[in-house]
Structure 1
Amino acid sequence: MTVVECDGVIAAVSDALGRTITLVRPLSGGQHAKTLVVADSTTEYVVRVFPPLDDAVGHEPQILDRVAALGDRVPRLVATGQFGDFPFIVTSLVVGGPPSPDLPLRRVAEQMAAVLAQIHQLDSVGLRTLSWETPRGDSTIEALGRRAWQQLDLADHVLTHYDFWCGNAMWEGETLTGVVDWSGARGAPRGLDVSWCRLDLVLLGSIDAADHFLAEYERESGHSLPDIHSWDLVAAARSASRVETWASNYLGVGYSDLTESTLRARMDDWTSRLCAS
């Protein structure tokens, strides 16, 4: 976002809130929306600016209403608006920041599993539903992902976050304080969120943490996932060809060691394990 665009967004947010807003800092770590922390005279807020024609402004408010049961661990809707062709959402600021790269990954797994089990208990009735496409491409993992997708039971829906990775979790020390970025949330099978978080933990460097996350999730939720291998295949098939592009996301939340080459090596090792299973 250019300086001129940023100034325009700040002015539009000020109009939406009916008071003067100033920029505190930009936030990095995602690719979908440009994110800013802003403030009035007393309070800080988060502004997320979406691409033109993005439907997040129409969709996310109902999601934030559904997840309000999680209290201060999720954002509260403050306002929506438009800057030119760019829709934006203003929410409360969830306390915390990305997990420290020094935080043990088993601890990350435990906290992520506990909050995901709570998310999946929330009402998904009436929400838009699963939109993942069948994995494409000619690689072994993509072919296996297509086969796995066709065999999955996609009927049992819960409220899924739809992008459940460490960059969308907020932390203070070793305690998870919140989950943000609900624009993609919808009704979908629980295996979607579980496999996506497992992939994140693998890319962070620990297959053991990914397995610990699964065990903790099943314990916390009371639901077993006998089809998790198929979900893991699908998650890997959907991302294997583009994993290098995630390096900037990880850098934005403090994982400077996750270079393109490191992500590629870890993805290749993971897909080899999945294909051999």
Structure 2
Amino acid sequence: MTNGFGGLSRQALDWVESKWQGAVLEEAVPLEGGTSSLLYEIRASKDGEQQSVVLRLHHKGEWLDQEPDLARHEAMSLELAEKSGIAAPRILAFDESGEACGMPAVLMTKVPGAVILPPAYDAAWLDGLAGTLAEIHRHKAEGFPYEYFAYNDARRLERPKWSRVEGDWMRAFYIVAAGGPPVEYCLIHRDYHPGNILWEEGRVSSVVDWVNTCRGPAGVDVGHCRVNLAQLYGTRIANEFLDAYERHAGESFVYDPYWDLLSLIDTLDGKPAVYPGWKTFGMAGLSDELVRYRLDEYLMSLMDRFDDF
């Protein structure tokens, strides 16, 4: 291992140097907030100035067993984002197999901005979040080889013993298992939530973490963001986000609560708890108990929407 480079191996550093030609590497700093991969900001002197890039290393064997092409997937997603004019990192290089770098890797530009999680309701922040997502969905991404699939099979989910409304969750599983409405696919980020949005001077500066990008229903992105907002701030803010998204998307989006329900169920993985990244970004006051309470509350709000349809 190499001192001053965050524990990165000599093999990884050699690979970065080979792809970032002319750069004299000076430091590697682990980036916080990610849970599914290792992220580093690598700083160097290049062309007489200080520059930085970001290196993502896919280290989770169980994820790679399911999707061995994660590095290629993100590289293609970043290429598509650049061609579409979406503010995102630019791909510099990738190692799909990990043979060259030591583990599957993506090297990309470092984009400006920082994650902001307001301590309370912020209308301008919520509007920027919604408007940016609506812009992503304007792209149809025809020919992009990755298409949406659900992470959880609703038919196999067990009764959530942690919940106060177990029966309603079971009803939700049955609804999702029955299948959704026909929908036109578009470009979806697939992990759109406040922790993947960077801000600068009150505006969204970039969207990061394009590992799972695909063509799919816009409602999946909307629903995923709403689940995160419901846990962070409660159902009312999640509903405010939906209203803002509908304003930005206009007639191109037809809301159906099915995609909200599916997105909610897709987040279930054991007993719900506070997402570690939120604490990293300064969100205080959350507890596992509060998150579970809010998920129950959000579920019931969705079931009410089904009753209205």
Please report the TM-score for the alignment, with normalisation by the length of structure 2: 0.79
Give the superposition deviation at 1:190.
0.5
What residue identity is the alignment partner of 1:14? Answer: E
Identical-pair percentage: 24
Instruction: Sort the Cα spacing of 1:4 and 1:148 in 2 relative to 1 into closer, same or farther, 3 A.
Output: closer
> 2: distance between equivalents of 1:161 and 1:145?
24
Give the superposition deviation at 1:170.
0.3
Match of 1:16 in 2: 19
Contact 1:57–1:80 (CA under 8 A) maintained in structure 2: yes
Instruction: Sort the Cα spacing of 1:260 and 1:15 in 2 relative to 1 into closer, same or farther, 3 A.
Output: farther
Instruction: Sort the Cα spacing of 1:154 and 1:63 in 2 relative to 1 into closer, same or farther, 3 A.
Output: farther
Range moving further from structure 2, 92-101 or 17-26 = 17-26
For residues 103-135 of structure 1, the C-alpha deviation after alignment (integer angstroms, 9 at most, x for no partner) is 634333211111111101123212210121432
For residues 20-79 of structure 1, the C-alpha deviation after alignment (integer angstroms, 9 at most, x for no partner) is 323342112222211111111121111111135441221222221221156572111112
For residues 163-189 of structure 1, the C-alpha deviation after alignment (integer angstroms, 9 at most, x for no partner) is 000010001253211100111000011
Match of 1:120 in 2: 137
What residue identity is the alignment partner of 2:8? Answer: C
Aligned partner of residue 55 in structure 2, secondary structure: strand
Instruction: Sort the Cα spacing of 1:59 and 1:108 in 2 relative to 1 into closer, same or farther, 3 A.
Output: same
Match of 1:209 in 2: 237
Please tell me whether residue 28 in structure 1 is matched to residue 32 in structure 2. yes
Instruction: Sort the Cα spacing of 1:149 and 1:213 in 2 relative to 1 into closer, same or farther, 3 A.
Output: farther
> 2: distance between equivalents of 1:276 and 1:72?
35
Q: How does 1:69-108 map to 2 (within 5 A)?
A: 69=83, 71=85, 73-81=87-95, 82=98, 85-102=102-119, 104-108=121-125
Range moving further from structure 2, 51-60 or 185-194 = 51-60
Bigger CA radius of gyration: 2
Give the superposition deviation at 1:4.
7.8
Please tell me whether residue 130 in structure 1 is matched to residue 144 in structure 2. no
> 2: distance between equivalents of 1:142 and 1:173?
44
Please tell me whether residue 60 in structure 1 is matched to residue 74 in structure 2. yes
Match of 2:217 in 1: 189
Stretches of structure 1 lacking an aligned partner (at least 5 in a row): none
Normalized per residue, which structure has more helix? 1
Give the superposition deviation at 1:138.
3.3
Match of 1:258 in 2: 286
> 1: distance between equivalents of 2:143 and 2:275?
35
* RMSD of aligned Cα (Å): 2.6
Q: How does 1:231-270 map to 2 (within 5 A)?
A: 231-242=259-270, 244-270=272-298
Please report the TM-score for the alignment, with normalisation by the length of structure 1: 0.87
Stretches of structure 2 lacking an aligned partner (at least 5 in a row): 160-167
Aligned counterpart in structure 2 of residue 6 of structure 1, from 5, 8, 14: 8
> 1: distance between equivalents of 2:125 and 2:300?
25
Aligned partner of residue 240 in structure 2, secondary structure: helix
Give the superposition deviation at 1:266.
1.7
